[in-house]
Amino acid sequence: MTALRILIGSTPVGPLGSGIGGGVELTLHNLVLGLSDRGHRVEVMAPENSLHVGQHTHHIAGTLQPLGHLAQRNEAICIPPHSVLANMWAFAREQQHRFDVIVNLAYDWLPLYISNTFHVPIAHLVSMASITDAMDDAIEERLLNAPFSVAMHSKAQAETFGLGHQARVIGSGVAVERYDCVQQVADNAPLGFIGRVSPEKGILDLFHIASVTKRHVKVWGLMQDALCWEEARRAYPTANVTYEGFLPTDQLQGEVGQCAAVLMTSKWVEAFGNVAIEAMACGVPVVSYRRGGPSEVILHGETGFLVEPDDIAGMVAALAGVPALSRQRCRTHVETEFSTKAFAVRSEMWLREAVRQFHAVS
């Protein structure tokens, strides 16, 4: 089968490697790895000072885009002066003749709006659930006019959009070989949390759980909102929660593997929850609220536990069952369903269909 020439547009909120882009950065890395291994030529466009990814990374200058997850429901579209988002897509327009398909990972209105003006298909992998009316409208329009061009990470994410059921669901994946499976940990092993330190990630609940269980909880991720961290510490002064910093994957997996379990306490709908498959790749069970993507990733009673949203007592009770779970089962689940190869196969099927449908209706 003919190899595809693919250009992937990264998130415009921060350089690759900064952690500002959250799960999108991990998705991009593993998408590039998986598609490249399948023989496709993959190039990336990303804000300047990004890490090199793929055959070639095009560094685009400009003002970074505001963080989408902080927007209010009725907030207007914002494109700052000398926008890196606008510059990225101006570059894509100039270079489109070199590619068979362009993949957009930016949760932004502009790439959706200009899709009809390109001579090659733009395939949109939506990275977050419904947040603003403006983005909902743009995604709905794409789904109505070109349903083949939109994919999402989970059914739960798709359901937050009015016509989300029409989008293809392709999950996600990680390079399992980069994660060591730790088969056994000490009885007093800490719990872990991986993600941005911000209110929507449920930091207050995390401190509450630590306070009730008297367990040590280690937190890894970008310190995006120090105020919410301090507020949680003041609310639960006896909680043994320590911030361990933002670590690259190879270092992070070594630390996470020593945890008894990883907690997911999100207050919003996670589109997928990459941290769940990262933890399970290390053999670490995940205890999460039954909210968003994690509810489709975690096998309840096998690779972790799913608890009703915001139920602190339920989280505490679930943690008591963690020692009985098989850490090898956690690893095998990721190897089977969420490897870079499995993710690439699903993504390739979507991209080939997007190319075929685009030319069929053009």
For 316, the token pair is 């505490």
Sorted by where each begins, the domain ranges of the chain are 5-173+339-361, 176-337
Sheet holding 41-47, edge to edge: 56-60, 41-47, 5-9, 101-104, 122-126, 150-152, 168-169
Give the pLDDT confidence of 301-320 residue by residue, as tens digits: 999 999 999 999 999 999 99
For the chain, give the percent of residues with pLDDT over 70: 98
**DSSP bridge pairs for 305:** 287
DSSP state of 81: T
> Among residues of the chain, what percentage have pLDDT more than 90?
86
Distance from C-alpha of 106 to C-alpha of 108, rounded to nearest angstrom:
5
Q: Residue type for 2, please?
A: T
| pLDDT beyond 70 at 349 | yes
Residue identified by tokens 């990374």 is 57
Q: What is the largest CA-CA distance in the chain?
A: 63
pLDDT recorded at residue 298: 98
User: pLDDT, tens digit, for every residue of 16-36?
Assistant: 988 887 889 999 999 999 999
At 32, give phi and psi (nearest 5°).
-60, -45
Q: Which of 68-77, 114-123, 326-335, 337-346 has the lowest mean pLDDT?
A: 68-77
Neighbours of 337 (CB within 10 A): 16
The yes-or-no answer to whether 5-173+339-361 and 176-337 have a common fold is: yes
pLDDT tens digits for range 262-302: 999 999 899 999 999 999 999 999 999 999 999 999 999 99
Given this model, what pLDDT does residue 69 score?
62
Residue range 243-254: average pLDDT? 93
Q: What is the pTM of this model?
A: 0.92
Query: Are the beta carbons of 108 and 124 closer than 8 angstroms?
Result: no
What CATH code is assigned to 176-337? 3.40.50.2000
Is pLDDT at 76 greater than 90 in this prediction? no
Q: Quickly count: other Cβ atoms within 10 Å of residue 135's Cβ.
A: 21
pLDDT at 201 > cutoff 80: yes
CATH number corresponding to 5-173+339-361: 3.40.50.2000
| Rounded Cα gap, residues 136 and 129, in angstroms | 9
CA gap 330, 300 in Å, rounded: 11
- Structure confidence at residue 71 (pLDDT): 60
